[in-house]
Amino acid sequence: MSDRFFEERLDKLKRIKALGYNPYPERFERTHFSDQAKAEGEKGVRDVEAITADNKKNVTLCGRLMSFREFGKLTFAHLLDDKEKIQICFVKGCLPEKEAALLKLIDMGDFIGVTGELFKTKHGEITLLVGGLTFLGKALRPLPEKWHGVQDQETLYRQRYLDLVMGRETRDRFELRSKIIRKLREFYWQSGFTEIETPILENISSGAAAKPFATHHNALDIDVYLRIAAGELWQKMAIVGGYEKTFEVARCFRNEGMDPSHLQEFTMIEHYAAYWNFEDNMKFTEGMFEYLMKEVMGTAKVTVKDREGKPVEIDFKTPWPRKDYRQMILDDSGIDILEYNDAKGLLKAIKTKKIVIEDAEKMGYGNLVDHLYKKVSRPKLVQPTFVIHHPADTKPLARRNDKNGRVCDTFQLLVNTWEIVNAYSELVDPVDQRERLMRQAEAKAGGDEEAMSMNEEFLTAMEHGMPPISGWGMGVDRLAALLTQQDNLRDTVLFPLLKPLV
């Protein structure tokens, strides 16, 4: 931005003050939002000549000035508020002298308040003929050029406020995200769940296979971790304490690589239900999406972008197919993952098949299996699909299957190759849990940064007794990206984290 424009606006700011106006007043009382005013105008308005002679001043609006066009004695402008834009009109001689002087000092992007009466233009547009003007906030920097808005992608993230002002599509996207969360909460409340809050700072990072952010707690003089999941262990401890159905909408943090489908700071919803198994949770998930699609989208079918940016129709009509995790990998790679008990043998088989997995030598068996699946099978899952029965070593907190102890009673919901939901029947056997956490701790000691740590506090809680439980977690950012046709999660986060420019 040129310094000249900045200086010009600073000069106008001084002149506004000289007229006796506070350019940044504390409040303003409106009578209508723009959509309400338009609806009121459609009921009937007077002729513009009658209003010019005697303005009733029965409508007061406020917002940001988005356009400004002079036509002789007439000046037309558009005012943007929380709802939409509405046209306003200034007629020479219809404002008091002081306010007429103020009109010459306002710029695009300024906030103003106007009082007047509604009329309809010859083109049928509801417009406010202004009889009173007040100043509500000076913009010292101009908005982007109106026809192009904000085009640079990095600027869209760094200055999201400009993107919101100039692009209604952006605002609609974040309104839809808010509606998704609201409707999810409603579904939980209707289903008898209690919303609880669990710690963001933890002594031991747990609840998922991920590398945490570490920080130091000065008052206690201890190292702590930002949570990597939405309170999984805490919610299960709440069930030990007597709750039966809990959920949390939570910000989570993982100190891992950044790509279009992963963020270091993201939003998850997790829930836990006593006396359920993973089959109950699959039925609950299908019911949730039936409700969500009806309430938010109004249809079970939506068109989204596939991983190559091409449109593809996703049909959320239930029931959804179920695919066995082990069988999928076998079909797609020729490798039977359950033939191997450790990472060494599996890694050899992967190399024999000439499948390349970055940093595979550093991974424990569970993470290696997971990366193999993501390499050969997950890219093929486009329509909503439940992937079930993951190996026990990939799910250290999940209950083993009664018929095959090598796998767990788990499911993931995959849509358009993205994992939207991860869920399972919870492991409630403290002896089995201790053994599995010990193996995770060994993998971590061997260099696997995503492996879990031993957690004695959780084990102590388990030893006090747990009922059968099924737990569930969903990435809100991914769901929002899917339903708004975005191929990058940062486009569904209002203010994503970016590296500073300086």
8 Å CB contact between 207 and 232 = yes
- Phi/psi at 51 (5° precision): -70, -40
CA dist 120 and 124 (Å) reads 5
What pLDDT score was predicted for residue 1?
Answer: 45
Chosen domain end from 85, 110, 143: 143
* Pairing, β 194-195 against β 245-253: parallel
> What's the distance, CA 379 to chain centroid?
23
Q: At what angle do helices 168-190 and 476-483 cross, to 10 degrees?
A: 130
What pLDDT score was predicted for residue 149?
Answer: 57
The domain total for the chain is 2
Please check whether residue 274 lies inside any domain of the structure. Answer: yes
Any idea what the CATH number is for the domain that residue 459 is in?
3.30.930.10
Phi-psi region of 307 (alpha: psi -120 to 50; beta: other; left: phi over 0): alpha
CA dist 488 and 490 (Å) reads 5
Q: What is the DSSP letter of 398?
A: B
Do 312 and 424 sit in the same domain of this protein?
yes
What pLDDT score was predicted for residue 499?
Answer: 86
How many angstroms separate the Cα of 387 from the Cα of each of 217, 314, 326, 425? 40, 17, 10, 14
Which residue do the tokens 């699946």 mark? 373
Digit-by-digit pLDDT tens for the chain (502 residues) are 457 889 999 999 999 999 999 999 999 999 999 999 999 999 999 999 999 999 999 999 999 999 999 888 899 999 999 999 999 999 998 999 999 999 999 999 999 999 999 999 999 999 999 999 999 999 999 888 754 556 678 888 888 988 889 888 999 999 999 999 999 999 999 999 999 999 999 998 877 778 899 999 999 999 999 999 998 999 999 999 999 999 999 999 999 888 888 899 999 999 999 999 999 999 999 999 999 999 999 999 999 888 888 899 999 999 999 999 999 999 999 999 999 988 999 999 999 999 999 999 988 888 899 999 999 999 999 999 999 999 988 888 889 999 999 999 999 999 999 999 999 999 999 999 899 888 888 887 888 777 777 889 999 999 999 999 999 999 999 999 999 988 889 999 999 988 888 7
CA dihedral 240, 242, 245, 249 (to 10 degrees): -70
Do 118 and 171 sit in the same domain of this protein?
no
Do 132 and 203 sit in the same domain of this protein?
no
What pLDDT score was predicted for residue 151?
Answer: 67
Which of 479, 422, 478, 465 has its CA nearest to residue 271? Answer: 422
Coil, strand, or helix at residue 430?
Answer: helix
> What's the distance, CA 97 to chain centroid?
49
Angle at 387 between CA 256 and CA 335, to 5 degrees: 80
Do 183 and 99 sit in the same domain of this protein?
no
Cβ burial, residue 116 (10 Å; 0-12/13-18/19+):
buried
8 Å CB contact between 427 and 397 = yes
> 256 is in which domain, residue-wise?
165-321+383-492
Please check whether residue 484 lies inside any domain of the structure. Answer: yes
Do 51 and 191 sit in the same domain of this protein?
no
Do 126 and 194 sit in the same domain of this protein?
no
What pLDDT score was predicted for residue 187?
Answer: 98
Do 291 and 390 sit in the same domain of this protein?
yes
Please check whether residue 108 lies inside any domain of the structure. Answer: yes
Helix (H) or strand (E) holding 96: none
The residues pairing with 80 across neighbouring beta strands, listed in sequence order, are 64, 85
8 Å CB contact between 165 and 155 = no
What pLDDT score was predicted for residue 148?
Answer: 58
Within 304-414, residue ranges assigned H as helices are: 325-333, 343-352, 365-376
